[in-house]
Amino acid sequence: MNNIHILLVCVFFLINALQAQARTFTEEDCPVCVATIDKFSKTLEGETNLKNIENQFRKYCLSTKNDKEKRLCYYLGGLEDSATGILSEMSKPLSWSMPALKVCERLKKMDAQVCDIKYEKEIDWKTVNLKKMKVKDLKKILDNWEEICDGCLEKTDFIKRIEELKPAYVKEEL
């Protein structure tokens, strides 16, 4: 009887391990990495030299304006002030023409922060209820618009300011 319990426990753990491995890595797991590596890989035009790929990535990182891509560059070592560098873990697979999704899956194993970077969700202005949003999110909207709210103390003040500025920043589709 004791052997059967041990066997059942072993089978249970084996099934759980197989299920964990069966879960496939998707673009949603690492959206910024996949999008950035994919966009960068299209600029390589068949380049296979690792040093050239790394140098081109550094140039790419200097030219990008996207904050999320900049953070990815920082984590990979593509910026001068990067604390670490795992560029070779990106350049080798790219030299073999490995898809961006697989490159990012490998990079995640080296540094999980690479996949912690997510794009901010777009606001659906047709359905959004500003009254249900947090003040922090209302402030972020104004920051994204590079606007300020002088004298705003209450949540209603921020909502009023956003409603005033909305016609200039939100394009209503017909």
pLDDT digits (tens, 9 = 90+) for 65-94: 888 999 999 999 999 998 778 999 999 999
Please state which CATH class domain 27-115 belongs to: mainly alpha
Q: What is the mean pLDDT of residues 48-71?
A: 93
Q: Examine the pLDDT at 162 and tell me if it is beyond 60.
A: yes
pLDDT of the residue at 35 = 94
Question: How many CB atoms sit inside 10 A of residue 18's CB?
Answer: 9
104-136 residues labelled b (16+ CB within 10 A) or e (exposed):
bbbbbeeeeebbebeeeeeeeeeeeebeebeee
Q: Examine the pLDDT at 173 and tell me if it is beyond 80.
A: no
Q: Examine the pLDDT at 174 and tell me if it is beyond 50.
A: no
- Residue pair 72/59 in contact (Cβ under 8 Å)? The answer is no
Question: How many CB atoms sit inside 10 A of residue 4's CB?
Answer: 8
Q: What is the pTM of this model?
A: 0.65
Structural domain boundaries in the chain: 27-115, 130-169
How high is the mean pLDDT of the chain?
87
Residue 21 confidence class, pLDDT cut points 50, 70, 90: low
Percent of the chain with pLDDT over 70: 89
